[in-house]
Amino acid sequence: MEINPNDLKPKDVYKLLSGAVIPRPIAWVSTVSKDGINNLAPYSFANALSGDPPTVMFSGGRPNGNNKDSIQNVLDTEEFVFNIVTYSLAQQMNISATTSSPEVDEFKEAGLTPGKSKLVKAPRVLESPINFECKLIGTFDISGGVGPGSLVVFGRVVHMHIADDVLLPDHKIDPLALDPLARLSGPSYSKIEQLLNIERKNWGADVDPKKK
């Protein structure tokens, strides 16, 4: 089937896109409002962008043309924490995904512990084994004048909290010990159960067309 996304409703395009680009990491974004209210919400349009400088991003839609609470808090405070969601925290993550009013503290609703961060005011999720404290670099509006669109948020990682039990020698993360929750589509999620290790080839030594 050939599909022009302009011929579909936005919700149908979303279903195709989110169902095809899988699995996706989940940024569990914690922020604090300018009035001091904690906020926590998951974003599956998210990823790491750069190691030097360390940079992450997440993207949130604009229901009715308004920013979600997390994004508005980032715009107001220029800070957030990018927490990793583990498989064991799936239910708490789902509770924090519920649309609620700005005065609701999702930490309390989900029974999670807000931990003090080192360099930002936004709290981190103590139950999460990895927290990246971030300072806002900038945002990018990808609406293009079509519909309410989304706002992409870019953050510079200024401090990392890594649990000892997911950390391997040489500053590597053990993916099985981390057990991250992966986003699929609709109500579906997944977990890592098997690793496929492939060593990268070296041009000239391992791969050379002239040897064929």
Q: What is the CATH number of the domain that holds 131?
A: 2.30.110.10
Residue 97, burial from CB neighbour count under 10 angstroms (0-12, 13-18, 19+): middle
Residue 4 is assigned to a structural domain of this protein: no
Res 212 pLDDT > 70:
no
Residue 175 is assigned to a structural domain of this protein: yes
Residue 194 is assigned to a structural domain of this protein: yes
Rounded to whole angstroms, the Cα distance separating 115 from 124 reads 5
What pLDDT does residue 70 have? 93
Mean pLDDT, residues 32-36: 94
Residue 156 is assigned to a structural domain of this protein: yes
Mean pLDDT, residues 160-173: 97
Res 87 pLDDT > 70:
yes
Predicted confidence band of residue 61 (pLDDT cuts 50, 70, 90): confident
Helix (H) or strand (E) holding 75: helix 69-77
pTM: 0.91
Q: What is the mean pLDDT of the chain?
A: 92
Q: Phi, psi at residue 34, to the nearest 5°? A: -65, -15
**9 phi-psi bin (left φ>0, alpha ψ -120 to 50, beta other):** beta
Residue 2 is assigned to a structural domain of this protein: no
Beta-strand relationship, 79-84 and 27-32: antiparallel
Cα–Cα distances in Å, from 157 out to 12, 29, 33, 35?
34, 13, 20, 24
Residue 89 is assigned to a structural domain of this protein: yes
Give me the sign of the Cα torsion angle 158, 43, 45, 83.
positive
What pLDDT does residue 62 have? 80
Rounded to whole angstroms, the Cα distance separating 102 from 68 reads 9
Residue 107 is assigned to a structural domain of this protein: yes
Mean pLDDT, residues 8-27: 93
Res 144 pLDDT > 80:
no
What is residue 123's three-state secondary structure?
coil
User: How many domains would you assign to the chain?
Assistant: 1
pLDDT in tens, 91-116: 999 999 988 888 888 999 999 999 99
Mean pLDDT, residues 7-16: 91
- Domain extent, residue 178, equals 9-211
Residue 43 is assigned to a structural domain of this protein: yes
pLDDT in tens, 198-208: 988 887 666 66
Tokens 């920013």 found at: 67
Res 44 pLDDT > 80:
yes
Helix (H) or strand (E) holding 130: strand 130-141
